Amino acid sequence: MSNHCIIKATFTILPQESVKTNYFIDNPEVNMETIGKALKGVFPHTLYEYQLEAMKTILAGNDLFLTVGTGAGKTEVFMFTILKELLEEKISNVVIIYPTKQLAADQEQRLALYCNHLLEATGKKITYSRYNGDLSKEDLEQIEKKKPQIILATLDKLFYRCFKEDKYGFLDWIKLTDVLVIDEIHAGSGGYLTHVREFIAVFKQTNPTLRIILASATVKDVASFRDNFIPSANIIQAAGRRGIVRVMILPRDSLEQFILNRIEPYLQKIGGVCLVFVDSIRKVSQLVAKFNERLMKRTGLPMEIVKLNSPFMCINSQLTEQDKADILNQIKNGSLRFLFTTSLLELGMDIPKIEHIINIGWPITGKNGLLQRFGRLRFQDLTQKKNFTIVLDTDRPLDNYYLENYRTIKTILEENITEQTLFDSKSLQRMKAFVLFRLCMGQTTFEEILSYCQTKECEKITKTAIVMLMADGILRTRNHKVKNEKRELVIADEQELSHFIRNHKIRSAEKRWVIIEKSKENERVIGKIEEQRILRMALPGNLLYQGKHGDIYRVLNLLKGKIVVEKLHLSKSTIERNKLKPPVFQIEKQARVQKFGKLTIRYGKMVIQRETAEIMRYTKTGKKIEDNNQQKQSYHWQEKTSGLLAEVIFPKKVGYKEKRETLSLLKDLILKCSEIVLHISEPSFRTVVNVHEGKLVIYDRGGELGNAAYLFREFQKINNQMRKLVQNNVQIQQPYETILQLLDQVSDDAIKMVNSLLSRENKEDG
């Protein structure tokens, strides 16, 4: 390996800060003297003008949309005002909703610090608790019994909870909450934000005195964003807070030397931490294993000793909660210098001593993700200098575009404005869930349920959802003597309702299997893995990375929902994944059809099947098994859904590479144009490609009632927008023949230009 480290470009992002006042939190002008005196020791800062204005807005009883750049203290705005009103008994309970479980856990620690200081200073105890999927059934039941004054929840947990029996009156307590806070609202998209909007609307109508606080990073088109949720909210904006940031752009092959020879010695000297973002759970573990290997060769120590003292560690969503907690504690006590992570740590978690952030590859969360990661740098004062490095792979079109056009990155970081947030507005499947949600929240008549509709189209979708729920046997009507709009809807079958909600997904998260390590002494859970990844890397005999050190495990057996593994004491870090056959798509014969030149679009019920072509099995010593007889056993994964099948007719002379590039461009264009024309965000859809047959499938969890059906009906608009998008961003040079037949005048440069507009790439490894 060469010792030469190439840096493509460097530039500096200048300091930025909002306007400050001369007031501390305990000044009489702030109207928070009691909590100010108690908390000044942990918050010894003068307030920003926006903080003072926002606090006054909340205390005046108004709804608020607070949009502020990262690191400027927006959390304290709503936390301090909430604590003041709880102490003065002007309110009795508050619900704060976070986009992730990890962020809720992190913010609980901050709240605990404030509440402990208040108890010591005033003698008054404020009760609080998390309420999310990390807690056991027994813990959740205790929370429901005690009804703490502040609930820090995820929206998913609260939404699903509304459909269950309310044994302790917890839901009635939540319905009558005085303040509802949605933190980091900009971080959501698609179905999640549609549920947030529904949640706010229903709670506000159920409880008109409820105050809503939305907290966000700086967003594009602020008024439009606010109006999607609560038009009555006062808007308060402010810049973020940062010191001097040196940004470096590196090609991928310089990463190892950059970390080992430049960053690691520097961090060891100053005692800082480097956060490394990689958008692949597998690659996060691989990189940690690889760097630990380098340390082993450099020191001559056994791998187990190296791991115990290694400055490299990884964290991702598949680790156990205990492992995550241990890692964060090691970061905080200074024993780790490099933490490799997926987007798990993208949102707002307070990790001290971060001096450098490295982002590998353009984020799958796009521009918003890059800004969130950039915002993890925190500054005690504006004279501080820190580093942000972006590592880009020339083999990936989107990475290569930004590598060649790095000034675009400078503009993005300086402006620090997130993308426009998009909603899933047409899904019948979601509307059915919303009708049931409104019913469970006490909106029982046709008139009440339809009162949320702002347009004729929304009203039509809502009425259709009600009819379908009645046809499914979940709902029925009563009070037939009154007018139709006054009739009540009631649950006809609790079991059918329960079945529907169990299968309703707020996010597009995959079903996960538990990974269990088996040893002579015992068995223990070491993490989870998405079901769709099992064929590729978790069949019997496979090796997989797992754990905070990038340990290697061999799969022993598959049980229902469980993968049993054994740990191997290896230093090998290169593991081959199973090879899969091209996916097979079987669509119903009566599928609807549209044709656009060489492109044919079908929509209907279908079966997607994936099957192994070769399984990479290994011995207990990590040696690959070459016995062909062992490769004959085949595994397959099948999914039944309703979706859109796009097929491109290629000339016989066209090669695999050209087909792959054409289908990749087609997929990205369709998804991007769906955002532009139909306001359906990319994460709402899933895609599967068969390059050999020139086929692309787009589907969602809504089945035949979802947004894929709407996409098919409106595909003429999508086709028109695709042409506009390409033609407006192209300088014609040498067009690819195959793409030319699909879309007019699309060249190699066009692919780069269009990719520059796309916010995400293929998520197969995500």
Does 575 score more than 90 pLDDT?
A: no
Examine the fold and report which residue of 502, 522, 548 is the final residue of a domain before the chain moves on.
502
The CA-CA-CA angle for residues 626, 630, 636, to 5°, reads 120
Q: At what angle do helices 748-755 and 715-727 cross, to 10 degrees?
A: 110
The mean-pLDDT minimum among 20-24, 272-276, 306-310, 762-766 falls in 762-766
Average pLDDT of 653-682?
Answer: 83
Does 189 score more than 80 pLDDT?
A: no
Report yes or no: 80 and 25 within 8 Å, Cβ to Cβ: yes
Distance CA(525)–CA(666), nearest Å, equals 41
160 or 758: which carries more pLDDT confidence?
A: 160
| Residue 348 pLDDT level (bands cut at 50, 70, 90) | low
Cβ-based neighbours of 188, under 8 Å, separated by 6 or more: 99, 196, 421
Distance CA(211)–CA(178), nearest Å, equals 6
The per-residue pLDDT for range 80-91, each reduced to its tens digit, is: 999 999 999 999
The per-residue pLDDT for range 698-746, each reduced to its tens digit, is: 998 776 778 898 899 999 998 888 877 666 554 333 334 434 444 443 3
Report yes or no: 219 and 417 within 8 Å, Cβ to Cβ: yes
Cβ-based neighbours of 300, under 8 Å, separated by 6 or more: none
Query: Residue 677: its pLDDT value, please?
Result: 86
Query: Residue 650: its pLDDT value, please?
Result: 81
Range of the domain at 135: 17-238
Query: Residue 700: its pLDDT value, please?
Result: 84
* CATH assignment of the domain containing 473: 1.10.10
Report yes or no: 602 and 644 within 8 Å, Cβ to Cβ: yes
| Residue 32 pLDDT level (bands cut at 50, 70, 90) | very high
Do 168 and 295 share a domain, yes or no?
no
User: φ and ψ at 426, to 5 degrees?
Assistant: -120, 5
* CATH assignment of the domain containing 332: 3.40.50.300
How many domains are there within the chain? 5
Give burial (CB, 10 Å; 0-12/13-18/19+) of 308.
Answer: exposed
As beta bridge partners, residue 403 has none
Do 520 and 621 share a domain, yes or no?
no
Does 750 score more than 50 pLDDT?
A: no
Q: Is residue 2 part of a domain?
A: no
Distance CA(617)–CA(635), nearest Å, equals 14
Q: At what angle do helices 715-727 and 656-673 cross, to 10 degrees?
A: 110
Examine the fold and report which residue of 207, 238, 269 is the final residue of a domain before the chain moves on.
238
Q: Is residue 249 part of a domain?
A: yes
User: In 336-378, where do the E strands start and end?
Assistant: 338-341, 354-360
**How far, rounded to the nearest angstrom, does the alpha carbon of residue 26 sit from its chain's CA centroid?**
37
Which of 61-75, 502-516, 560-574 holds the top average pLDDT?
A: 61-75
Do 672 and 602 share a domain, yes or no?
yes
| Residue 501 pLDDT level (bands cut at 50, 70, 90) | very high
Q: Helix, strand, or coil here: 462?
A: helix
Q: Helix, strand, or coil here: 655?
A: coil
Distance CA(565)–CA(255), nearest Å, equals 31
Query: Residue 316: its pLDDT value, please?
Result: 82
Q: What is the 3-state secondary structure (H, E, C) of 125-151?
A: CCCEEEECCCCCHHHHHHHHHHCCCEE
The per-residue pLDDT for range 34-49, each reduced to its tens digit, is: 999 999 999 999 999 9
Q: Helix, strand, or coil here: 422?
A: coil
Does 425 score more than 70 pLDDT?
A: no
Does 747 score more than 80 pLDDT?
A: no
Q: Is residue 1 part of a domain?
A: no
Do 492 and 627 share a domain, yes or no?
no
Do 246 and 234 share a domain, yes or no?
no
Q: Strands 64-68, 211-216: parallel, antiparallel or unpaired by DSSP?
A: parallel
**How far, rounded to the nearest angstrom, does the alpha carbon of residue 605 sit from its chain's CA centroid?**
28
- Between the alpha carbon of residue 351 and those of residues 116, 333, 337, 368, the distances in Å are 21, 11, 12, 20
- Between the alpha carbon of residue 81 and those of residues 34, 134, 722, the distances in Å are 11, 28, 48
**Which strand (E) or helix (H) includes residue 585?**
strand 584-587
Which of 87, 77, 147 is CA-nearest to residue 119? 87
Query: Residue 353: its pLDDT value, please?
Result: 85
The per-residue pLDDT for range 351-401, each reduced to its tens digit, is: 778 999 999 998 887 888 899 899 889 888 889 999 999 999 988 877 887
Average pLDDT of 247-265?
Answer: 92
Average pLDDT of 515-544?
Answer: 88
Average pLDDT across the chain, whole number: 86
Query: Residue 506: its pLDDT value, please?
Result: 84
Do 446 and 593 share a domain, yes or no?
no
Query: Residue 735: its pLDDT value, please?
Result: 33
Report yes or no: 154 and 100 within 8 Å, Cβ to Cβ: yes
Distance CA(299)–CA(307), nearest Å, equals 12
Which of 697, 698, 691 is CA-nearest to residue 582? 691
Q: Is residue 146 part of a domain?
A: yes
658 or 542: which carries more pLDDT confidence?
A: 542
Cβ-based neighbours of 136, under 8 Å, separated by 6 or more: none
Q: Is residue 627 part of a domain?
A: yes
Query: Residue 278: its pLDDT value, please?
Result: 94
| DSSP output for 491-547 | ES-HHHHHHHHHT--SS-PPPEEEEEEE-SS-EEEEEEEEGGGHHHH-STT-EEEET
Number of neighbouring beta carbons within 10 Å of residue 677: 18
Query: Residue 488: its pLDDT value, please?
Result: 92
Report the percentage of the chain scoring pLDDT > 70. Answer: 92
Do 690 and 735 share a domain, yes or no?
yes
Number of neighbouring beta carbons within 10 Å of residue 154: 21
Count of residues making up the chain: 766
Distance CA(658)–CA(4), nearest Å, equals 34
Do 334 and 471 share a domain, yes or no?
no
Query: Residue 734: its pLDDT value, please?
Result: 33
| DSSP output for 373-403 | HHTT---SSTT-EEEEEEEE-TTSHHHHHHH
Distance CA(171)–CA(372), nearest Å, equals 33
Q: Helix, strand, or coil here: 332?
A: helix
- Between the alpha carbon of residue 515 and those of residues 356, 509, 524, 564, the distances in Å are 33, 17, 9, 6
Helix then strand then coil, % of the chain, to nearest 5:
40, 25, 35
Query: Residue 88: its pLDDT value, please?
Result: 94
The per-residue pLDDT for range 468-486, each reduced to its tens digit, is: 999 999 999 988 777 878 8
Query: Residue 730: its pLDDT value, please?
Result: 43
Do 262 and 151 share a domain, yes or no?
no
123 or 322: which carries more pLDDT confidence?
A: 123
Query: Residue 120: its pLDDT value, please?
Result: 94
User: In 649-747, where do the E strands start and end?
Assistant: 686-690, 695-699
Distance CA(719)–CA(699), nearest Å, equals 18
Which of 206, 201, 145 is CA-nearest to residue 177? 206
pTM as predicted: 0.86
Which of 195, 92, 174 is CA-nearest to residue 441? 174
Query: Residue 742: its pLDDT value, please?
Result: 44
CA dihedral of 29, 34, 37, 38, whole degrees rounded to 10 = -150
Does 655 score more than 90 pLDDT?
A: no
Q: Strands 599-614, 584-587: parallel, antiparallel or unpaired by DSSP?
A: antiparallel
Do 288 and 196 share a domain, yes or no?
no
Examine the fold and report which residue of 238, 261, 296 is the final residue of a domain before the chain moves on.
238
Which of 670, 676, 695, 698 is CA-nearest to residue 686? 698
Do 587 and 549 share a domain, yes or no?
no
**Tokens describing residue 498:** 């329960």
Q: Is residue 626 part of a domain?
A: yes
Q: Is residue 760 part of a domain?
A: no
Q: At what angle do helices 656-673 and 748-755 cross, to 10 degrees?
A: 40
Average pLDDT of 658-675?
Answer: 84
Which of 315-324, 356-365, 571-580 holds the top average pLDDT?
A: 356-365
Query: Residue 349: its pLDDT value, please?
Result: 62
Do 745 and 657 share a domain, yes or no?
yes
